[in-house]
Amino acid sequence: MTHGDERALLPTATGAEARAALRELLRPRRLLALGAFGLLSAATAVGLLTAPVLGGIVDLAVAGRPPDAVTAPALLLVTIAVVQGVCLAAGQTLVARLGEEMLADLRERFVDRVLALPLAVVERAGSGDLTSRVTGDVTVIAEAVRTAFPQLARSALTIGLTLVGLVVLDWRFLLAALLALPVHLRTVRWYAGRARSLYARQRVALGAQQQQLLDTIGGAATVRAFRLAESHLDRVAVRSRHAVDLTLRGIRLMTRFYGRLNVAEFVGLSAVLVTGFLLVRADAVSVGTAAAAALYFHNLFNPLNAALSLVDDAQSAAASLARLVGVSRLSAADRTDDGARLGASVLADGGDVAIPPSSRSADDAADPAGADETAVPAAGPVVPADTTGIAIEVKGLHHAYAPGHEVLRDVSFTVAPGERVALVGASGAGKTTLARLIAGIDRPSSGVIRLGGVPVDELGGQVTGRIVALVSQDGHVFAGPLADDLRLARPDATDEALRTALDRVGALGWATALPDGLATVVGEGGHRLTAAQEQQLALARLVLAAPPVVILDEATAEAGSAGARLLESAADRTLAGRTALVIAHRLSQAATADRVIVLDAGRVVETGTHDGLVAAGGRYASLWSAWSGARG
């Protein structure tokens, strides 16, 4: 893309990678594919008997035979039609089943990989790019699987067997028909060379357009408040024009493609008719045979044009498949065995904190609960209250989202195992950025972050997610039974374990009082939970996941004093025994922490206990005075 403000879109797979993915999807369904191919071949072969039978009827007419002589050929035509219809229906059914199974498998793998992607990767690409792959690209592939590929398979069989039929009639008919082949090949080569890159750019342009629409609509309130509507509309218009221009170029390309195919048809049919005339005049073949040859070639028009025109659908589907496979390759590259071993070592050194068995795959460790717990650990046993966490070491940390605009500057501190530290500072001080770096969501511009003595970069995103859980104030409840929502953090948890986790965060009372208890459907279309209850649910997932390190990014910043006190109490019980960083929205959380770190303009300006910092009369004392005064 040429626009200066384009996002770093998710990668697209190479042709070789896309073909390898197709082979992988087809491998367990080889028998189904062979059955479908056999039935379609039988249907095509039977259908090709029509032309010689009609040629025989022509010969009967030329010979002056009586009308009843046509009865047997007519019955044969009916039999051919019935057999062909049965084989064709059965073959297309198997092809449809094969395609739908492969498509379902592709969808599941894509969703599985997307859930395992590092959040920073998705955020850099933007939700529009990912959404366009989930919707537009999957739709393109689905249409190809349901219509284009079955028709392409049948057309290819028809073409191949028809050429064999021409040889059976007379080999010279085949030579005449092949005169159209150079025109066809040149047309396909001309079209494919232009269409491949065009459709790839079109899919990317549609993703960029969708991202801009999401950005504009999602931030409508901010856009209106700062009077940015005109500039945002201009951006939407630019991206829309780019997408439309590429689509129109595709239409013009298709029009020229069909025009060249018509030339090939004219050349081939003319050659076959001239050849038939010459052979009949030389008594080499009968009129009926020449008629059958002409019918054979004429019958090639539809399958040949269909096969060549389906190159369009195939190009578009291949571009979409490459975009889906590209995401799979990206997330697979993010997982490393070395990181997993280091993560196991870090956790083992941290005390009585267990992790899932090493036999669990990285895919299994990916937790869909990441929508509100942005760095999500894998499922594990509930951490006992006296468990010791692991140390966090931050040294010489600098970070800038854009060159020349540092958000964090030379940040250094250490959090001891099991210590609870509050991060305090004005809005924009860098608290959330620091939390994201420690959680492994983003990588720092420079400096080192160690968990249990191991650099986060060496652990990798997946392993860091098993060690650190970051819970924000934007909780999410997934649609379905409450028990299933909780088990996102620990799929093997028993009902008793769920109740224990709910009790730990003070949610057992209202959860058991729901109409169907833990089986009550919550989320979209179900029982509506309050904001405080949603956050308690997120904390209960945290208890079940049992990470040694927890970061609460204003996760208890619930409006209303009663709700906030309830969540702070739940957070206290959840953090027991864990190393914790609490981004304090309410300074009452800082007052109960073991230590307070004050950030200002991206730097650590104070550190110490609550009482010590208040007595020092510095930045924290001013914040405490303002906050406590506002409460009074």
Q: 245 and 102, same structural domain? A: yes
Q: In this structure, are residues 92 and 150 in contact, taking their beta carbons and an 8 Å threshold? A: yes
Q: 368 and 326, same structural domain? A: no
> Is 559 a domain residue?
yes
Cα separation, 210 vs 221, in Å, equals 19
Q: 388 and 281, same structural domain? A: no
Residue 72 sits in a domain of what CATH number?
A: 1.20.1560.10
> Is 7 a domain residue?
no
Residue 231: partners with Cβ closer than 8 Å, 6 or more residues away: none
Q: 366 and 509, same structural domain? A: yes
The pLDDT value recorded for residue 83 is: 93
Cα separation, 588 vs 595, in Å, equals 13
Domain boundary among 292, 316, 333: 333
Average pLDDT over residues 373-384: 38
Q: Number of structural domains, the chain? A: 2
> Is 158 a domain residue?
yes
> Is 28 a domain residue?
yes
The single-letter code of the amino acid at 254 is M
DSSP state of 14: -
Q: 453 and 308, same structural domain? A: no
Q: 415 and 310, same structural domain? A: no
Query: Domain range for residue 264?
Result: 15-333
Residue 105: partners with Cβ closer than 8 Å, 6 or more residues away: 25
Cα separation, 123 vs 572, in Å, equals 31
> Is 237 a domain residue?
yes
Residue 533 sits in a domain of what CATH number?
A: 3.40.50.300
> Is 444 a domain residue?
yes
Kindly tell me if the per-residue pLDDT of 255 is higher than 80: yes
Percentage of the chain modeled with pLDDT above 70: 80
> Is 6 a domain residue?
no
Kindly tell me if the per-residue pLDDT of 300 is higher than 70: yes
The single-letter code of the amino acid at 7 is R
The pLDDT value recorded for residue 119 is: 65
**Which residues make beta-bridge pairs with 521?**
481
Instruction: State the Cα angle at 605 between 603 and 607, rounded to 5°.
Output: 120
Q: 303 and 198, same structural domain? A: yes
Q: 455 and 326, same structural domain? A: no
The pLDDT value recorded for residue 374 is: 35
Cα separation, 455 vs 205, in Å, equals 38
Domain boundary among 333, 353, 374: 333
The pLDDT value recorded for residue 361 is: 32
Cα separation, 377 vs 366, in Å, equals 8
Instruction: State the Cα angle at 385 between 587 and 566, rounded to 5°.
Output: 40
Please state, in angstroms and as integers, the Cα–Cα distance from residue 306 to each residue in 59, 534, 613, following that order.
Answer: 32, 54, 78
> Is 2 a domain residue?
no
The pLDDT value recorded for residue 79 is: 92
Tens of pLDDT, residue by residue over 347-362, are 444 433 333 333 333 3
Strands 579-583 and 420-424: parallel
Average pLDDT over residues 523-532: 79
The pLDDT value recorded for residue 217 is: 77
Higher pLDDT, 127 or 105: 105
Q: 205 and 76, same structural domain? A: yes
Residue 630: partners with Cβ closer than 8 Å, 6 or more residues away: none
Q: Where are the beta strands (DSSP E) in 403-513?
A: 405-415, 420-424, 446-451, 454-455, 468-472, 480-481
Q: In what order do the strands lie in the sheet with 595-600?
A: 373-375, 468-472, 549-553, 579-583, 420-424, 595-600, 603-608
Average pLDDT over residues 271-285: 88
Domain boundary among 333, 353, 383: 333
Tens of pLDDT, residue by residue over 240-250, are 888 888 888 88
DSSP SS3 for 407: strand
Average pLDDT over residues 538-564: 72
Q: In this structure, are residues 36 and 95 in contact, taking their beta carbons and an 8 Å threshold? A: yes
Q: 382 and 322, same structural domain? A: no
Q: 400 and 322, same structural domain? A: no
Q: 392 and 325, same structural domain? A: no
Q: How confident is the model at residue 375 (pLDDT cuts 50, 70, 90)?
A: very low
